[in-house]
Amino acid sequence: MSTPLWVPDADTIDQAQSTQLARHFGLATYEELLAFSLAEPERFWDETTKWLDLDWQTPWAQVRDSSDGMAWTRWFVGGRLNLAWSCVGRHLAAGRGDHLAVIVEHEDGSVETRTFAELWDEIGRLALALRLLGVGAGDRVAVVLPMGIEATAAIYAAARIGAIAVPIFSGFSAAAIAARFADCTVKVVIAQDVSYRRGREVAVRATVEEALAISPVEHAIIVGGGDHGHADYHALISAHDGADCDTVWVDSEHPVFICYTSGTTGKPKGAIHVHGGLLVKLALEGRLCADLRPDDRAMWFTDMGWIMGPWITIGAHAAGVTMVCFDGAPDWPDPARLWQLVERHRLTFLGVSPSLTRALQAHGDALPRASDLSSLRVFGSTGEPWNPEPYTWLFETVGGSTRPIINISGGTEVGAIILGCDVTLPLAACSLGRPLPGMDVDVFDPDGNSLTDEVGELVIRAPWPSMTRGLWNAPDRYVESYWTRYGGIWTHGDWATHEQDGAWFLHGRSDDTLNIAGKRVGPAEFESALVSDPSVTEACAVGVPHPIKGEAVHCFVVLAAGTEFDDDLNARLRGAVERELGPAFRPDRIAPVSELPKTRSQKIVRRAVRAVLLDQDPGDLSTLENPSALDAIRAARRGA
């Protein structure tokens, strides 16, 4: 049993959104709510969706229909709604049009805002412009924009007219963007002209134009810039100033997003998400996981091209909450930039990743302590397993031991969260709390037996509203990827542990997991041992084939400023791993590097490191922010 760091007081429990939902069902505790959601899933989702009060045009006649098999379950059958209306338009009807919907701080420090009324107006004018370009229900609109007002308006404008938004990471290469254009036959792309990263221009439009040369699209709309030969975003919406746009009411199963997820090999997978199920699940998660309330201000450091971009957008706006966006590097030009954002915009909720936290921790304790973080009530976290040291640093040093870390885990194809913490639960370091209400989750061994207190494969036993409705143009790949291993049970691809006391922990992707002499160990356990040494700020552990052990562990470390990697440090780090995991897990090699390959959300891409070590094709590297980091891995391999 793990010792909790966060223990909620009675007032926190009483005011929590999860407590309000439990009371709606006549229940007293979060644990009772979880049990009820699994015992009576249809009643749970029926009444919870009504509790969320999302203003459907037509109520559903049936909560779910699995007659075509669990993989193809339909939700809220017969219901009609529009996600854009439920997230933005209905707040005007409720008299909250002057409430701030979006605050954007750019890297240069400039700030833009939109109220719900202003955002709805911009959504409507962009939707009319899209219609004039021939966009209708079911057509695909790609959005290659950083988090901000235009990206927010674009995904809602597509939804408002029944089109399908295709959010694409604004830092992708031309080939990666073109692959997504081609896969779902994009009709219109809305892209940034230039964005900024660490004070340098990032020529997004030029990259998109390269993609258009590979995979043509009928129309391009560009945000910003001068004479670029494409339609101009602000000119288009200005042309429709004062015009009104009707909202297209669609069936609950009508697609609203195609969200792409990259595999280690092969083309990206386009997960299809729909108006009804995605809205309900994300609205619930915003209320429960982030404990969002109408006067809150919430930010997740992410991009609209990752699932957490739509997650924070829809989760916040469905709750009538102000979403805060930051378009820039979290430690530039000042390493305290993220903490200053919290102070400036009075954030109540801040979402980060473990890797981002480790990077900020390296700048010292004084920076977060110098900012006024008194508005902050809750941290969010996702992306990868935690190490205890940065988790504890965020909780104690930054949060003053008074704010819970709501660690969550889900995925693009899941559309939302599988496991997640709640503010009413005692939380141990690195814990994922419990499965979310309505999620029937288990841990299996290779034969499909349920495990407790042992590492196994994370699975989902029953359907949930936000599950992907297949992969675009690849229904067989969808079934093969997720539903075949355990015969009709969703296999997620993560190693997890379900402890006897009810707590859940993740140990990394199952394809990242190391097998040392028949013992399965997650890379995070090696990395945690390494970063416990003050000389190491970041670490990456991967397994490579070994003739005796099966796999040997190779570790790469980023050292604190002024630290040299010598024999003494090497021995000390090896000893740290041995003390933490045992002599059998002593690394075969530890090597220093200046940086580790990461995504923009600061997630370390271990599969690329392993591929370089083995001189193999690393697969899709379009998500990497710093592909040059792999050169250091290659150099270290040659120097072995």
Please write the tens of the pLDDT for every residue from 466-519.
Answer: 999 999 999 999 999 999 999 999 999 888 999 998 899 987 777 676 777 556
Question: Looking at residues 287-294, what average pLDDT do you find?
Answer: 97
Cα 176 to Cα 15, 152, 193, 573, 625, distances in angstroms: 45, 22, 18, 38, 13
Q: In this structure, what token pair is assigned to residue 423?
A: 């503010």
pLDDT at 548 over 70: no
Which of the four pLDDT bands, split at 50, 70 and 90, describes residue 383? confident
pLDDT at residue 343, rounded to an integer: 98
pLDDT at 522 over 80: no
Question: Looking at residues 280-288, what average pLDDT do you find?
Answer: 98
Residues whose CB falls within 8 Å of the CB of residue 73, separated by 6 or more in sequence, listed in order: 64, 65, 66, 463, 467
Please write the tens of the pLDDT for every residue from 421-453.
Answer: 999 999 999 999 999 999 999 999 999 999 999
Q: Which residue has the higher pLDDT, 353 or 17?
A: 17
Is residue 31 classed as helix, strand or coil in its secondary structure?
A: helix
d(CA 326, CA 329): 8
Is residue 117 classed as helix, strand or coil in its secondary structure?
A: helix
Please write the tens of the pLDDT for every residue from 93-148.
Answer: 999 999 999 999 999 999 999 999 999 999 999 999 999 999 999 999 999 999 99
pLDDT at 72 over 80: yes
pLDDT at residue 334, rounded to an integer: 94
Cα 54 to Cα 80, 308, 350, 467, distances in angstroms: 11, 21, 24, 19
Task: Tell me the pTM.
Answer: 0.87
Q: What are phi and psi of 365, to 5 degrees?
A: -80, -25
pLDDT at 64 over 80: yes
pLDDT at 264 over 50: no
DSSP single-letter state for residue 471: B
Instruction: Name the average pLDDT for the chain.
Output: 93
Span of 176-190, 256-270, 279-293 with lowest mean pLDDT: 256-270
Q: How many residues does the chain have?
A: 640
Question: Looking at residues 554-560, what average pLDDT do you find?
Answer: 95
- Dmax (CA) for the chain in angstroms is 73
Span of 86-95, 123-132, 169-178, 204-213 with lowest mean pLDDT: 169-178
Give the domains, in start order, of the chain with CATH numbers.
Answer: 4-506 (3.40.50.12780), 512-638 (3.30.300.30)
Question: Looking at residues 209-229, what average pLDDT do you find?
Answer: 95
> What share of the chain in percent tops pLDDT 70?
97
pLDDT at residue 549, rounded to an integer: 67
Question: Looking at residues 6-19, what average pLDDT do you find?
Answer: 98
Cis before 368? omega within 30: no
Span of 160-164, 297-301, 353-357, 391-395 with lowest mean pLDDT: 353-357
Span of 38-52, 75-89, 162-176, 386-400 with lowest mean pLDDT: 162-176
d(CA 170, CA 304): 8
Which of the four pLDDT bands, split at 50, 70 and 90, describes residue 640? low
pLDDT at 632 over 90: no
Q: What single letter denotes the amino acid at residue 205?
A: R
pLDDT at residue 265, rounded to an integer: 40
Please write the tens of the pLDDT for every residue from 576-615.
Answer: 998 887 777 889 999 999 999 987 667 788 888 999 999 8
SS (H, E, C) 531-579: HCCCCEEEEEEEEEEECCCEEEEEEEEEECCCCCCCHHHHHHHHHHHHH
d(CA 154, CA 151): 5
Chain-centroid distance of CA 100 in Å reads: 23
Q: Where do the H-state alpha helices sit in 400-491?
A: 475-482
CA proximity to 464, closest of 274, 288, 290: 274
d(CA 599, CA 604): 7
Question: Looking at residues 530-545, what average pLDDT do you find?
Answer: 92
